[in-house]
C-alpha cells in the first residue's frame, strides 16, 4: 500500500516493494497534486489519501451542512454572502456530487459571472471567495473525506484601488452646512477624531470623560443585530487595539455638551431619539 509523507513542505511517495521500503519525491508542496500522483501510482482515480475510496457526497448535503455551520458561527451580514455564493454556484453550474466542484468549474463560473455583469468586481470576488471557502471547509471536515484540490488556480480579479480624498476646511464647512441633527454629529466625530462609522453609532455619553475631554471607544451592549462585529448582544471594536481613549477637540466637545443637555437616549449618535443601526447609517 502506498501513502504520502511530507517533509520540509515537500510531499514524498512511500511504498513497499519486495519487502523493501521505497521513497520517491513528488517535487510538489501542493496536497492536491500529491494526491493525484498517489492515485496515478495506485492505478485508479477513485483512490485518494492512503488508498481509500472516495465518498460521493451529494451537493445538496454539502450545501445544507455548510449553511447550518455558517448559521451557527457567522454573523448575519456574512451569512448573506454565504447564501449569495451558493446561489451563484447553483445558477451557473449543476454539480451532482461535491467532487464535481473543481477549480476549473469555478473558473468557468467566474467567467460567466463577469460576462453577465450583474455585479461589480468586488461582488464577483466575494461570491467566488465564498464558494472556495465552502470547498476548503469540506476538505477539512473529516465527515466528507474529500480529496484536496489546488484552489489557488482560481485567481482573484484585480480590484481597482480607491482614491484618497483629502477634505479641506472649506469642504468640511460646506458639509456641516447641509448636515442636521445626528448627521452633523457623525460628520464632526468622523472628521475631528477619525472614528469608524460603527464606533460613532455605538458611542455612549457614559464613555465620555468630561473633565479630561476624552472619549473611550469600547465594547458596548447593542440591540441592532444587523451591525458588523455584533455577537451575543454586544458590539465590539474592530481589533483589540481599537479599544482606546481619544482626545476630543474643542469644536466637537462643545457639540457633545449641547447634545448631552437634551439627550433622550444614552447614545451620542441619535441621542435625541432618532438613532439608527450601523447598517442603516451606512446606506
- The CA distance from 24 to 11, in Å, is 9
More confident residue, 94 or 3: 94
Provide the grid cell at 169.
476646511
Contact 23, 13 (CB under 8 A): yes
CA–CA distances in Å: residue 13 to residues 1, 39, 51, 283: 11, 11, 12, 55
Question: Can you give the pLDDT at residue 50?
Answer: 43
According to the model, what pLDDT value does residue 172 have?
A: 85
- Whether the per-residue pLDDT at 48 is higher than 50: the answer is no
Highest mean pLDDT among 4-18, 97-111, 219-233, 237-251: 97-111
Q: Which of 216, 190, 189, 194 is nearest to 205 (CA)?
A: 216
pLDDT score at 47? 43
Q: Is the pLDDT of residue 97 over 70?
A: yes
Comparing 237 with 150, which gets the higher pLDDT?
A: 150
Q: By the 8 A CB rule, do 197 and 187 touch? A: no
The band of 131, judged by pLDDT with boundaries at 50, 70 and 90, is very high
pLDDT in tens, 118-130: 888 889 999 999 9
Residue 269 CA, chain-centre distance (Å), reads 27
The answer to whether 4 and 18 have CB atoms below 8 angstroms apart is no
> Looking at per-residue confidence, does 173 or 165 come out higher?
173
Q: How far are the Cα atoms of 207, 209, 248 from residue 212, in angstroms, in the given order?
A: 12, 6, 9
Cβ atoms of 47 and 38 within 8 Å: the answer is: yes
Pairwise CA distance, residues 89 & 69, whole Å: 18
Alpha helices in 25-102 (DSSP H): 31-42, 59-73, 76-92
d(Cα 178, Cα 161) in Å, to the nearest integer? 29
Q: Which of 252, 280, 274 is nearest to 262 (CA)?
A: 274
Which has the higher per-residue pLDDT, 212 or 26? 212
- What letter would DSSP give residue 264? S
Edge-to-edge strands, sheet with 20-25: 3-7, 10-17, 20-25
> What pLDDT digit, counting tens, does each position of 231-257 carry?
566 777 777 778 889 999 988 899 889
- 238 within 8 A of 188, measured Cβ to Cβ: no
Digit-coded pLDDT (tens) for 172-231: 888 888 888 888 888 889 888 888 888 888 888 899 999 999 999 888 777 665 555 555
Confidence class for position 51, pLDDT limits 50, 70, 90: very low
Report the mean per-residue pLDDT for the chain: 81
Q: Is the overall model pTM greater than 0.85, yes or no?
A: no
Question: Apex CA 37: angle with CA 33 and CA 38, to 5°?
Answer: 115
Q: Is there a contact between 103 and 149 (Cβ–Cβ < 8 Å)?
A: yes
Helix 121-140 vs helix 103-116: crossing angle, to nearest 10: 160
Amino acid at each position: 500500500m502506498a501513502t504520502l509523507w511530507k517533509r520540509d513542505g515537500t510531499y514524498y511517495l512511500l511504498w513497499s516493494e519486495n519487502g523493501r521500503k521505497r521513497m520517491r519525491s513528488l517535487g510538489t508542496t501542493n496536497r492536491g497534486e500529491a494526491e493525484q500522483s498517489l492515485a496515478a501510482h495506485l492505478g485508479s482515480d477513485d483512490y485518494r489519501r492512503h488508498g481509500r475510496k472516495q465518498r460521493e457526497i451529494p451537493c445538496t448535503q454539502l450545501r445544507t451542512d455548510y449553511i447550518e455551520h455558517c448559521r451557527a458561527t457567522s454573523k448575519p451580514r456574512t451569512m448573506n454572502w454565504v447564501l449569495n455564493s451558493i446561489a451563484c454556484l447553483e445558477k451557473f453550474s449543476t454539480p451532482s456530487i461535491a467532487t464535481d466542484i473543481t477549480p476549473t468549474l469555478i473558473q468557468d463560473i467566474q467567467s460567466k459571472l463577469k460576462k453577465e455583469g450583474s455585479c461589480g468586481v468586488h461582488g464577483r470576488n466575494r461570491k467566488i471567495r465564498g464558494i472556495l471557502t465552502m470547498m476548503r471547509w469540506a476538505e477539512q471536515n473529516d465527515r466528507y473525506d474529500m480529496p484536496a484540490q489546488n484552489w489557488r488556480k482560481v485567481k482573484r480579479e484585480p480590484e481597482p484601488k480607491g482614491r484618497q480624498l483629502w477634505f479641506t476646511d472649506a469642504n468640511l464647512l460646506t458639509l456641516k452646512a447641509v448636515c442636521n441633527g445626528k448627521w452633523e454629529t457623525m460628520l464632526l466625530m468622523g472628521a475631528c477624531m477619525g472614528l469608524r462609522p460603527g464606533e460613532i453609532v455605538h458611542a455612549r455619553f457614559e464613555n465620555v470623560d468630561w473633565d479630561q475631554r476624552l472619549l473611550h471607544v469600547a465594547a458596548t451592549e447593542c440591540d441592532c443585530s444587523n451591525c458588523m462585529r455584533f455577537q451575543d448582544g454586544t458590539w465590539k471594536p474592530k481589533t483589540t487595539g481599537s479599544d482606546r481613549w481619544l482626545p476630543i477637540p474643542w469644536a466637537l466637545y462643545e457639540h457633545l455638551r449641547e447634545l448631552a443637555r437634551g439627550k433622550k437616549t444614552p447614545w451620542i449618535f441619535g441621542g435625541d431619539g432618532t438613532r439608527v443601526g450601523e447598517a442603516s447609517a451606512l446606506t
